């Protein structure tokens, strides 16, 4: 009997995490569902975890876990569901909201995500998006992203995150 020569599909788990209102679902919809930036205005808050699979670059299937950022869900992800959420992750995209009034609480949540990622997916890649960079004056954008880059580099020994300033209103999201 001859073995099949059909290409083997590769499935990779990508988790998008961050606080409520950071822009996680808007970014996912823009990149993977062909929404325009204006279309994202009609999106509501994500309830729990939205799962989707997107075929990417031929035989790569991205299993996207868009995690709702409301406190009740975050607490559940980090405690009761931590093995389910953080197990077998290839990529964690953590979205920081530049409009936050409490950067320390965002860093604390990020630290908890990294702790769980270290326990269940030590080989994962981590990318941090400093989102809504369009709200920052042009001459302050690089300094703002660099401030996050320095702060995040101190928070992780195992993971060396890529840090990018992004917006749904320009090309920065695609560059990241």
What percent of the chain shows pLDDT beyond 90?
A: 36
What mean pLDDT is reported for the chain?
81
Whole-number pLDDT of residue 132:
87
Whole-number pLDDT of residue 89:
95
Whole-number pLDDT of residue 4:
52
**Which residue has tokens 């975050």?**
74
Reduced to 3 DSSP states, what percent helix, strand and coil does the chain have, rounded to the nearest 5?
40, 25, 35
Q: How many Cα atoms within 13 Å fall on the side-chain side of residue 87?
A: 6
CA 33 from chain centre, in angstroms, equals 16
Whole-number pLDDT of residue 43:
54
DSSP, collapsed to helix, strand or coil, labels residue 160 as coil
Residue 69 contacts by C-beta under 8 Å, 6 or more apart in sequence?
17, 18, 19, 20, 21, 22, 24, 45, 46
Question: Does the global pTM surpass 0.85?
Answer: no
Residue 163 vs residue 34, higher pLDDT: 163
Measure the CA–CA gap between 63 and 91, rounded to whole angstroms: 10
Confidence grade of residue 144 (pLDDT, cut at 50, 70, 90): very high
pLDDT above 70: residue 37: no
């Amino acid at each position: 009997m001859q073995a099949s020569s059909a290409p083997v599909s590769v499935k990779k788990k990508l988790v998008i995490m961050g606080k409520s209102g950071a822009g996680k679902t808007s970014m996912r919809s823009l990149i993977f569902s062909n929404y325009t930036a204006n279309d994202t205005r009609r999106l509501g808050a994500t309830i729990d975890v939205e799962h989707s699979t997107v075929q990417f670059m031929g035989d790569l299937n991205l299993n996207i876990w868009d995690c709702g950022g409301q406190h009740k869900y975050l607490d559940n992800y980090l405690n009761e569901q931590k093995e389910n959420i953080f197990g077998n992750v290839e990529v964690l995209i953590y979205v920081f909201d530049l409009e936050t009034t409490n950067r320390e609480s965002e860093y604390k949540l990020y630290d908890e995500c990294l702790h769980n990622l270290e326990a269940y997916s030590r080989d994962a890649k981590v990318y941090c998006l400093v989102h809504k960079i369009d709200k920052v004056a042009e001459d302050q954008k690089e300094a703002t992203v660099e401030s996050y880059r320095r702060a995040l580099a101190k928070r992780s020994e195992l993971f060396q995150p890529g840090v990018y300033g992004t917006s749904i209103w320009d090309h920065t999201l695609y560059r990241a």
